[in-house]
Amino acid sequence: MSTAALPLRTTGAFGLRGSLSRNRRWALITSYVFLVVFAIFFLIPPYYMVVTALKSDAEVAHMATNPWIIANGITFDQFRILLTQTDFLTFFKNTAIVTVCVVVVTMVVSVLGAFSLGRMKFWGSSILATGIFLTYLVPDTLLFIPLFQIVKALGLLNSYWGLIVVYPTLTVPFCTWIMIGYFQSIPKELDEAALIDGASHMQMLTKIFIPVALPGIIAATIFAFTVSWAAFVYPMAFLYSADQQVLTVGTVTTLIRGDVYAWGMLMAGALVAAAPPLVIYAFLMDYYIAGLTAGATKG
């Protein structure tokens, strides 16, 4: 009986393995098909930007040529003119100053806020934490009207310092939320051990929590950087002179005159503007994903 049963079981097991292997192969093929489709879909705009930025104005304007290829040779004129004959570098500098300041302010406030809300349990801390996240859900298109009054009252209208005051209203809630999730995922015995070792709460934060939560902090930093670098509505509302303007609005207002679009320079400007976030994402992508995941699942 047992000898008859054995081959049957073995065949069954092999059959199951074969089926699993086939299923896995099909799952992989399907995944790759979708990945390739999505990759092409998302890479078309950057490709179009690169191609257009490397064409002359004449070729861009010539309707008969194929817009997807460079027919008359590569030229860097668009970049040269953009950097030498427009305020692009001023916009870039202003954006960099605003972004660095916003990232610093955001991280200081978020890390301190998240540490107190996530680890130092006190009455109402969880409601406060939820409340902070809820403020993130109010869109900036609604907020800019009351914020305009505040920025004006502070005397910061038409100054990029106004953006440094305003942007943290977008970045702090989300970054705090990510950091709360991250801090909460750290075992409580770690701060208890630090307390017994003689650490103050500030030492606990700086010597234990910040190093341990570095992936979360990097994720939050990247988020704050991206929001600050790419914000459009607030600079559009609060800034109106070129010397204070930032990249997003400055590029558009300088290079679009009425219905005349300087397409080549617009694309060159977009490429240069996209470079810093691209570099940061490329280097810190793993941290970003790890940080976001921890925040999402353990918050």
Partner 1 sequence: MAEVVLRNVTKRYDNVEAVRSINLHIPDNEFVVLVGPSGCGKSTTLRMIAGLEELTSGDILIGGEVINDLPPKDRDIAMVFQNYALYPHMTVFENMSFGLKLRRFPKEEIKKRVDQAARILDIAELLERKPRALSGGQRQRVAMGRAIVRNPKVFLFDEPLSNLDAKLRVQMRTEIKRVHQMVKTTTVYVTHDQVEAMTLADRVVVMNGGLIEQIASPQELYHRPKTRFVAGFIGSPAMNFMRCRVEENGVGLRVRISDAVSLPVPSSHLPRYKGLTGKELIFGLRPEHITEPRRGAGEGISEFSPTLDVVEPMGMETIVFFKVDGQEICGRVDPGSAAGPGESMRLSANMDHMHLIDPATGAVL
**Residue 203 within binding range of partner 1, rule CB under 8 A:** yes
CB of 155 to partner 1, least distance (A): 44
**CA nearest neighbour of 102 among 148, 38, 170:** 170
Can you name the residues that pair with 256 across neighbouring β-strands?
261
- How is residue 190 written in tokens? 């770690």
Q: Which amino acid is at 127?
A: I
Q: Per CB under 8 A, does 150 bind partner 1?
A: no
Closest distance to partner 1 from the beta carbon of 198 (Å): 4
The reply to whether 208 sits near partner 1 by the rule CB under 8 A is yes
| Three-class secondary structure of residue 7 per DSSP | helix
Question: What are the DSSP E strand ranges found in the chain?
Answer: 256-257, 260-261
Applying CB under 8 A, the span of 54-62, 70-78, 103-111, 209-217 interacting with partner 1 comes to: 209-217
Per-residue binding string, partner 1, 174-193, x by CB under 8 A, is -------------x-xx-xx
For the CB of residue 181, give the shortest distance to partner 1 in the complex, in Å: 18
Single out the residue of 27, 68, 64, 26 nearest to residue 45, CA to CA.
Answer: 68
- The answer to the question of residue 196 lying near partner 1 (CB under 8 A) is yes
Least distance from partner 1 to the Cβ atom of residue 192, Å: 5
The answer to whether the Cα torsion of 265, 270, 273, 275 is positive or negative is negative
Q: How many secondary structure helices (H) and strands (E) does the chain include?
A: 15, 2
259 binding partner 1? (CB under 8 A):
no
| Contact flag: residue 195 with partner 1 (CB under 8 A) | yes
Between CA 21 and CA 173 the distance in angstroms is 46
What residue ranges bind partner 1 (CB under 8 A)?
Answer: 187, 189-190, 192-199, 203, 207-208, 211-212, 214
